[in-house]
Structure 1
Amino acid sequence: MAIENIPEIYITDKNKRPDLFVYDFKMTNDVVKSKVNLGMHMFSFLQVGKKQVHFAGTTVAVNKDQSLLLKKGNWLWTELLETEAKYYCKLFFFSEEKLKEFLEKHTANNHAVSDDIPYFLIRNDSYITSYLNSLSTIRQAPPIFMENLLSVKFEELMLYLLQKYGRNFELYLQSLIVKETAPFKKIIESKIHSNLKLEEIAFLCHMSLSTFKRHFIKEYNVSPGKWFHDKRLQKAKDTLEQGHLKPSDIYLEFGYNNLSNFSIAFKNKFGFSPKETAQ
């Protein structure tokens, strides 16, 4: 699967990346877990459809009632159509320089940071609707005015969200300019019960698959395939022992395409079938 470099693929002038950039993203096909190298922080204002993003340490899913502020980095995106058979998302990218300017102007800038969370969830309201309409309107302005207009609109949006979410939003903004990546083991252990492939987890770790496997064996003294396999089967066993679910309810959740393969792997691991465990 090719890696999409965003926003570079949307910018016409390849010799210059603007500090502020708006792009209307539309599609008519579902896209599941595309690899995205997000080179700028970005507001994602979902208008039609559903979106899920896998980060290094967590996952978030949104619909048209929510928007996301996403931290730059390597992420996996799933974008799904709704009944209208289309997907529409307005994207607003901003540079770290613009963010620093805003923080210096409007906050105490004490450099206290929140936990390293790669997104901030925004509840859409009448202001957001009006704001998006205004973004669409200014795109018709002559290019000579566009840079200044976007600067005004960026500051307006940030001030509104600062007023709406207060200190939590300020701390999140400050965390965006801290050059840290999630520790390797933290990423791995957050993905134990996901259905991500090893290649996809390696991408979230900013590694090739071969580098990822070498690093994994050095940390855990076992191959990643066996480690994830054993951890997921143990979780499946724990789930069945609670007595609320049957094997047929959970095999997909733990990465198996059919119940038979799940049952065989389970019995090979524990010496008894998942059906016996659930009784």
Structure 2
Amino acid sequence: MKKHTEHLFSESIVYSLATAKITEYDNLLVESVLLLQLSGEMTFETSGDRIIARPGEVYLVRKHQFVKTTKTPKNNEYYNALMFILKDEILREYALEKQLDSVAKYQGKKNILLPENAYLKGFFNSLLPHVQEPKTLENPLSILKVKEAIELLLLGKPELKNFLFDFSEPHKIDLEKFMLANFRFNVPIAKFAKLTGRSLAGFKRDFLKTFGMSPRQWLQYKRLTAAHYELEKKNKKPTSIYLELGFESLSHFSYAFKKQFGYSPTEVTNLNKVQNLFYISAEISPKG
């Protein structure tokens, strides 16, 4: 798949533009993101949500989660979105400037569809002319724009204070529960370690105690087992599942699958076809 194109106005503002082809990628969000969908659709999946952002919708996406993103052009238009990366350093600076009180640890929804807000809409519209001239939003103007976005978010929904200004790091969480919920994401082992609140060495050590094998071995085994289930029980095609299950290419998936089970993914799908034909013929054949 052709990679998407992103114009980086600054370290905090990104204008994302793709070709007419669908693009997919996995990522670990280390900063929260404010997203305006301009054209096309963005589907983003986390361990707890599957959301489709449509033109005109504004989402606030919480940091410290894996995201599987699919960007899809629609109606013969390029995919198009504008994103604000809400960096902790800018949020901390804003909190100091406004002398905000300490906040409680955020426990709410991680992905929020914001209600229509005339002020926020006007703010985003004011940025669109900069799409043609990216250099006009270089620092320090970009930082001012991010702070303006924060101001408008709090004006429309004051309860977002905890969402924005909770700077706590992931604590050491249940490793087994976390991995079972997130094994499909194709990200480096170090990023799994970070979100479980462990160093890479500590993660590998705890992983071996929990699962009896290394992270890479377990991820391969778990993804292939899930793939076999999808092919056999849900009649899915190899081409429709290999990316969902964290494999970078169909050839890599097919090779690993055959090495694990002794037969290829297509052999499973072909067997399903034969069995389905058998059942159909048995149902329509004359009785007695």
Considering the TM-score relative to the shorter chain, is it more than 0.5? yes
- CA gap 1:146/1:229 in 2 versus in 1, 3 angstroms: closer
Instruction: Tell me if the contact between 1:45 and 1:89 (Cα under 8 Å) persists in the aligned partners.
Output: yes
Of 101-110 and 138-147, deviating more is 138-147
1:44, 1:117 → 2: CA distance?
16
1:184 pairs, out of 175, 180, 196, with 175
1:114 equivalent to 2:101? Answer: no
Instruction: Tell me if the contact between 1:56 and 1:187 (Cα under 8 Å) persists in the aligned partners.
Output: no
1:89 equivalent to 2:102? Answer: no
Shift of 1:87: 0.3
User: Deviation per CA, 1:5-53, whole angstroms, max 9, x where unpaired?
Assistant: x9xx8558xxxxx6x6433221114344314465654322110111123
1:252 pairs, out of 216, 232, 236, with 236
1:218 pairs, out of 209, 225, 248, with 209
1:141, 1:65 → 2: CA distance?
22
- TM-score of the superposed pair, with normalisation by structure 2: 0.59
Q: Runs of 5+ in structure 1 lacking a partner?
A: 13-17, 237-246, 265-272, 274-279
1:103 equivalent to 2:100? Answer: no
Instruction: Tell me if the contact between 1:74 and 1:203 (Cα under 8 Å) persists in the aligned partners.
Output: no
Instruction: Tell me if the contact between 1:55 and 1:204 (Cα under 8 Å) persists in the aligned partners.
Output: no
| 1:46-195 paired onto structure 2 within 5 Å | 46-55=37-46, 58-70=49-61, 71=63, 75-106=67-98, 108-115=100-107, 118-137=110-129, 147-167=139-159, 169-175=160-166, 177-180=167-170, 183-191=174-182
Shift of 1:227: 5.0
- CA gap 1:145/1:171 in 2 versus in 1, 3 angstroms: closer
| 1:253-268 paired onto structure 2 within 5 Å | 261=269
User: Deviation per CA, 1:221-278, whole angstroms, max 9, x where unpaired?
Assistant: 4745555676899999xxxxxxxxxx6xx443995978954987xxxxxxxx9xxxxx
2:192, 2:48 → 1: CA distance?
10
Shift of 1:184: 3.3
Instruction: Report sequence identity in percent.
Output: 15
Partner letter of residue 91 of structure 2? L
2:75, 2:53 → 1: CA distance?
16
**Alignment partner of 2:114: what SS?**
strand
Partner letter of residue 101 of structure 2? N
2:124, 2:47 → 1: CA distance?
29
**Alignment partner of 1:205: what SS?**
helix
1:203, 1:50 → 2: CA distance?
30
Partner letter of residue 120 of structure 2? I
Q: Runs of 5+ in structure 2 lacking a partner?
A: 195-200, 243-264, 273-278, 280-288
Instruction: Tell me if the contact between 1:65 and 1:124 (Cα under 8 Å) persists in the aligned partners.
Output: no
Q: RMSD between aligned alpha carbons? A: 4.9
Partner letter of residue 165 of structure 1? K
Of 222-231 and 177-186, deviating more is 222-231
Shift of 1:82: 0.9
2:187, 2:134 → 1: CA distance?
42
